[in-house]
A = this chain, B = another copy of it.
Amino acid sequence: MKIKLVSYSKDGERIVAIAAKMSRSRKGWDYHEKEMTDDEIETWIRDSITHGYWSVLEHSVYTFSIEGISRVASHQLVRHRIASYTQMSHRFAKPVDKYYKPITPPSIEKRGKEVVDKAYQDAYNYFYQLLEKGVPEEDARYVLPNGVNTNIVVTMNARELYNFFGLRLCSRAQWEIRAIAWKMLDEVKRVHPRLFKYAGPNCIIHENFIRENPITLDDIDNTVFISQRCIEGVTREGIPKCVKNARSILVSEDGVVMGK
């Protein structure tokens, strides 16, 4: 799995802050553009998020190239509709051995490595047999495994990313899309730390809806949650551990971050 932020609104944080401020002002862009300080940017972003003024976050946009994920994961990913996708076509993809790299879930890596290797190899052989019988690629691929690898280019704005992270960073999300989400979060936090400061699984998002002082992922250990339960049913006490558990998908058995 390789996840790369290939394009984004360079001034995204500034733009979100100016837009938010303009909605409360009569002055035009040029004025605010010149006057807006770094401190103000932070404040406008924070206030927009803590007061549910999410629409201003839509003006900052991010494009990722996501490579080497399974079609199990991409099928879940594209269910997020407020986004743009361009996926490698599997209909016309010539079968070239070196590009056949189906994904193996960690649980199978541990418990069924040999089975999966054989299953993936057999499927590929059947695929070839069908091609040889004159079946077109787009049909022959029906015998390829669900785990087959794919590439996809994804564009989402910051608001949609918050929504996506809320659902997919969560421990209830399936491991692969969860790993994708955590990596995407890393990427956007690197370039826009202020804009994604409050991003996290829904337990954190919802906590901040009802809490006086907003918390972040970094505060997980030092926070007593007010929420009785998260939306998925985890109780107040269980939440911090659950979040850490969710995040652990990024780290392999040997402590190495996946996909690096």
Q: Which residues of B contact A67 (CB under 8 A)?
A: 28-29
Q: Which residues of B contact A233 (CB under 8 A)?
A: 51
Interface residues of A in 95-149 (CB under 8 A from B): 96, 99, 102-105, 107-108, 111-112, 115-116, 118-120, 122-123, 126, 129-130, 133-136, 138-148
> Contact partner of A19 among B26, B90, B142, B153, CB < 8 A?
B153
Q: How many copies does the complex hold?
A: 4
Residue pair A23, B130 in contact (C-beta under 8 Å): no
Interface string of A10-47 (1 = CB under 8 A from B): 11100100111011111011100100000000000000
Q: Which residues of B contact A33 (CB under 8 A)?
A: 6
Q: How far is the CA of A232 from the CA of B118 in the complex (A)?
A: 40
Report, as a range, how many residues of chain A touch the other chain: 35 or more
Q: A7-B15, A28-B2, A155-B58 are in contact. Are A116 and B142 (CB under 8 A)?
A: yes
A89 at the interface (CB under 8 A from B): yes
Q: Beyond the given A52-B232, A59-B86, A108-B135, could you list 12 further A-B residue pairs with CB under 8 A, ordered by the A residue number?
A: A6-B29, A23-B86, A56-B86, A61-B155, A71-B75, A72-B142, A75-B75, A111-B134, A112-B129, A119-B123, A119-B143, A142-B145
